[in-house]
Amino acid sequence: MAILDSKTPPGPLDKKWSNYKDNINLVNPANKRKLDIIIVGTGLAGASAAASLGALGFRVKAFCYQDSPRRAHSIAAQGGINAAKNYQNDGDSVYRLFYDTIKGGDYRSREANVYRLAEVSGTIIDQSVANGVPFAREYGGLLDNRSFGGALVSRTFYARGQTGQQLLLGAYSAMSRQVKLGTVELFPREEMLDLVIVDGRARGIITRNLITGEIHRHAAHAVVLATGGYGNVFYLSTNAMGSNTSAIWKAYKRGACFANPCMTQIHPTCIPMHGDYQSKLTLMSESLRNDGRIWVPKNKEDAKAVRQGKLKPNDIPEANRDYYLERRYPAYGNLVPRDVASRAAKERCDAGFGVNETGLAVFLDFADSIKRLGRSTIEERYGNLFQMYQKIVNEDPYSTPMMIYPAVHYTMGGLWVDYELQSTITGLFVAGEANFSDHGANRLGASALMQGLADGYFILPYTLQNYLADQIKVPLFSTDQPEFEETEKQVRSRLEKLMNIKGQHSVDYFHKKLGRIMWENAGMGRNRGNLQKAISLIRELRAEFWKDLKIPGEQNAMNTELEKASRVADFLELGELLALDALKRDESCGGHFREEFQTPEGEALRNDSDFMYVSAWEYNGDDNEPILNKEPLFYESIEVKQRNYK
Ligand SMILES: Cc1cc2nc3c(=O)[nH]c(=O)nc-3n(C[C@H](O)[C@H](O)[C@H](O)COP(=O)(O)OP(=O)(O)OC[C@H]3O[C@@H](n4cnc5c(N)ncnc54)[C@H](O)[C@@H]3O)c2cc1C
């Protein structure tokens, strides 16, 4: 069994982080230059970590599979980033951001980590402004804020609908400065295929150059994984096409526990699916719920007529519209958290009130806001999102309501980490969406960017330093050691095995099939029977994959099908663990909705006495069930209650 020591520092909640920082071991500047850190991933979490650790003087090697760090999935983030600055003077505070995040996560995250996140949130904004991020400003020049789900205050900083892009350019600039100064070395188009462990510590990685197909070894004193989320296990999601689980999956198979794999976020406002050949879903940012009102027709006949194209939404009079979120949750209205909004949309569609040809959509309507604020204000706030919608759907959202439906968006699960962001493998740290740390069973909007940048800019520079302080006498490892040789051999033989299947079907054929199994059985509504079915269907599909996959091209050259195959092979294993975790968690919480466990109003029904823990799965060989370790959760500063957004 793994030992799950959260290493939560002692003392009052609001003093833990400063106590920790005051007492850690530091590394002197001359020694920093002798210590190497590998960072896999250069999205917001990885780029900010590389910039900060490089600026401290450590020698950093940063890897990504794209041709430039600027293409990391973080660039897609639209709506904004939370911070408890209380610029609006509307009652915000560090405690309130902490409270909202714990409650939003349905009491399944670690108190001390979340408090620290809220505590450092303000400095992220200062740091980003200093990096040149052009946040939206008010008339007087102060930074503007808007609201996001699960909060009654406006604390979200934004740059139109392109916040991730601007933040990433900021972190990328800071990292590039270190590249120029020689502390950070960049390795684009270099994919990590395995982790190397020497004497129980993470000491390196094996990578494949995606242009030449060459295999490389890299050694370091510590390894950081900042490799993003695994939502693409569902095939269709709002994630970038390349987002994958492979780096953290390989680490899991080398001994890092995988926490809460079933905790998946399904975002309520995405452009509905429109056909079998689709490979990607598009998000319409949660920020749109600041000004857009969600509704469906009140009468089934109207909904049917809309579906058949006989009635236009604008022809339905006000009295015949059901603004169901405002009706059910008057206090939060359209800004209830994502899990609540997604379930409510599904409930209306399942009951026959859905629109679009498929009946799987609801309206997001801006008519009232345009009347109140004028079209130009709406255009200023969300122009790029409206343009994107118009291009995809071929309808003008300024004059007719958008149609939206929930889609897979974010994974709260990831590698288990302690307070220092260290996994159960010594020397392996995990940051950003790749770890499980702060969002419990449901992440609040605009909190992923906050967490990724908190991890990279402000947490790892302390916690990694504390770890490295006792490594100063360890010289750089040679990659000639047997552990590197053996791991490289395993990587090569797996690639050969994939190439040699020489079957009939493409990688996408299997990925799509996996996605359908996952969505139908482990998606928005889960139950015991479906989850058991998912596990056996995934096992069958995995066997078929290893018998009937076809990869054209060469192994030792650029081969995008081989890249995808390797990632999908890992998804085919992760999917089973996700379903198993969902099966063992006999409760509903946040985005994990087990149909057997719901309140009379259809809300998630937790079972705190049996499930107030983080499930941390430990790999136990390919043919055995993984071991379930549990980190119990304690709430000392917060009263645990049934969530209520009414
Ligand atoms: C459409 C969309 C909109 C969003 N909007 C918001 C928002 O407004 N606010 C908010 O807070 N959150 C938002 N999110 C969530 C947020 O964007 C992500 O959670 C966050 O950007 C993840 O950052 P990251 O640094 O952890 O990972 P990523 O940005 O995904 O970066 C992963 C990095 O790891 C690298 N990598 C992965 N595997 C390997 C490997 N094996 N070898 C080498 N490199 C590897 C990649 O190349 C990349 O550099 C949104 C998400 C989506 C999908």
Q: What is the pLDDT of residues 566-612, one digit of tens each?
A: 999 999 999 999 999 999 999 999 999 999 999 999 999 999 999 99
Cα separation, 598 vs 527, whole angstroms: 11
Rounded distance, CA 179 to CA 181, Å?
A: 5
Give the Cα-Cα-Cα angle 277, 279, 285 (nearest 5 degrees).
125
For 130-140, the pLDDT digits (tens) are 999 999 999 88
Give the integer Cα–Cα distance in Å for 364 and 383.
Answer: 15
Residues 52 and 40 reside in one and the same domain: yes
> CATH number for the domain including 591?
1.20.58.100
Structure tokens belonging to residue 362: 């609801």
How far apart CA 121 and CA 85 sit, in angstroms, is 8
Q: How many Å lie between the centroid of ligand 1 and the Cα of residue 144?
A: 24
What spacing in Å lies between the alpha carbon of 474 and ligand 1's midpoint? Answer: 33
CATH number of the domain within which 321 lies: 3.90.700.10
E-strand stretches of 42-117: 59-63, 81-82
For ligand 1, whether the C-beta of 284 sits within 6 Å is: no
638, part of any domain: no
Using a 6 Å cutoff on CB, does residue 76 contact ligand 1? yes
Cα–ligand 1 centroid distance for 375 (angstroms): 32
Measured from the CB, is residue 501 less than 6 Å from ligand 1? no
Angle between helix 94-104 and 111-130 (nearest 10): 120
| 478 within some domain | no
Q: Measure 224 CA to ligand 1 centroid, in angstroms.
A: 15
The contacts of residue 198 (CB under 8 Å, 6+ apart) are 204, 477, 481, 483
Q: Judge whether residue 161 has pLDDT over 90.
A: no
Report if residue 131 sits inside a domain: yes
The Cα–Cα gap between 367 and 591 comes to: 30
* pLDDT surpassing 90 at residue 275: no
**Cβ of 523 below 6 Å from ligand 1:** no
Over residues 175-227, the pLDDT tens digits come to 999 999 999 999 999 999 999 999 999 999 999 999 999 999 999 999 999 99
Q: Answer yes or no: do 307 and 398 share one domain.
A: yes
Looking at the fold, whether 331 and 202 belong to one and the same domain comes out as no
Which residues fall within 8 angstroms of residue 201, CB to CB, at 6 or more apart?
425, 426, 427
Query: Do 67 and 167 sit in the same domain of this protein?
Result: yes
Instruction: Return the pLDDT at 422.
Output: 98
Q: Which of 108, 111, 378, 115 is nearest to 263 (CA)?
A: 108
What would the DSSP string read from start to end of 487-509?
HHHHHHHHHHHHHT---SB-HHH
Separation of CA 605 and ligand 1 centre (Å): 30
Residue 240 lies in a domain: yes
pLDDT of res. 612: 98
User: Is residue 476's pLDDT more than 90?
Assistant: no
- Cα angle 611-617-623, degrees, rounded to a multiple of 5: 130
Rounded Cα distance between 186 and 205, Å, is 15
Whole-number Å distance, alpha carbon 449 to ligand 1 midpoint, is 9
Is residue 87 a part of any domain in this protein? yes
- Residues 399 and 423 occupy one common structural domain: no
Q: Which two tokens stand for residue 103?
A: 């409650």
Per-residue pLDDT tens over the stretch 73-112 = 999 998 999 999 999 999 999 999 999 999 999 999 999 9
| CB of residue 206 inside a 6 A radius of ligand 1 | no
Same-domain pairing of 275 and 247: no
| Arithmetic mean of pLDDT, 499-527 | 97
- Across residues 10-39, what is the average pLDDT? 97
CA–centroid distance, 31 to ligand 1, in Å, is 32
State the closest ligand 1 atom to the C-alpha of 47, by its place in the atom list counted from 1. 25
**Do 244 and 170 share a domain, yes or no?**
yes
Q: In b/e form, how buried is each residue of 509-526, taking b as 16+ CB within 10 angstroms?
A: bbbbbbbbbbbebbbbbb
Site to substitute for ligand 1 among 145, 227, 421, most atoms within 8 A of C-beta = 227
Chain segment 433-468, per-residue pLDDT in tens: 999 989 999 999 999 999 999 999 999 999 999 999
Ligand 1 atom nearest the C-alpha of 447 is 11
Residue with tokens 């947490």: 459
Q: Is the CB of 43 under 6 A from ligand 1?
A: yes
DSSP state at residue 232? G
Is 8 contained in some domain?
Answer: no
Q: What is the rounded distance in angstroms from the CA atom of residue 81 to the CA atom of residue 144? A: 12
The residue contributing the CA closest to ligand 1 atom 52 is 77
What CATH number is attached to the domain comprising 100?
A: 3.50.50.60
Q: What is the pLDDT of residue 477?
A: 82
On whether residue 335 sits in a domain, the answer given is yes
16: pLDDT strictly greater than 90: yes
Q: Which domain holds residue 549?
A: 488-619
- The CB of 104 under 6 Å from ligand 1? The reply is no
Q: What percent of the chain has pLDDT over 70?
A: 100
With a 6 A CB cut-off, is 451 part of the ligand 1 pocket? no
**Average pLDDT of the chain?**
96
Judge if 354 and 444 occupy the same domain: no
Domain count, the chain: 3
Q: Is residue 446 lining ligand 1, measured as CB closer than 6 Å? A: yes
Q: Which pLDDT band, with edges at 50, 70 and 90, does 276 fall under? A: confident
629 within some domain: no
Distances (CA, A) of 380 to 30, 373, 375, 377: 50, 11, 9, 5
- Domain boundary (361, 385, 409) is at 409
Rounded to a whole number of angstroms, the distance between the first and last alpha carbons of the chain is 42
The model's pLDDT over 537-569, given as tens digits with 9 standing for 90+, comes to: 999 999 999 999 999 999 999 999 999 999 999
Together in a domain, 247 and 311: no
Give, for 408, the enclosing helix (H) or strand (E).
strand 402-411
Do 416 and 552 lie in one domain? The reply is no
pLDDT at 381: 87
Are residues 232 and 284 located together in one domain of the fold?
A: no
Output the pLDDT for position 172: 98
**What does the DSSP 8-state code read for residue 10?**
S
210 and 234 co-located in one domain: yes
Q: 502 pLDDT exceeds 90?
A: yes
Contact 448 CB / ligand 1 (< 6 Å): yes
Per-residue pLDDT at 122 exceeds 90: yes
Bridge partner residues of 224 (DSSP): 39, 429
Cβ–ligand 1 distance for 432 under 6 Å, the answer yes
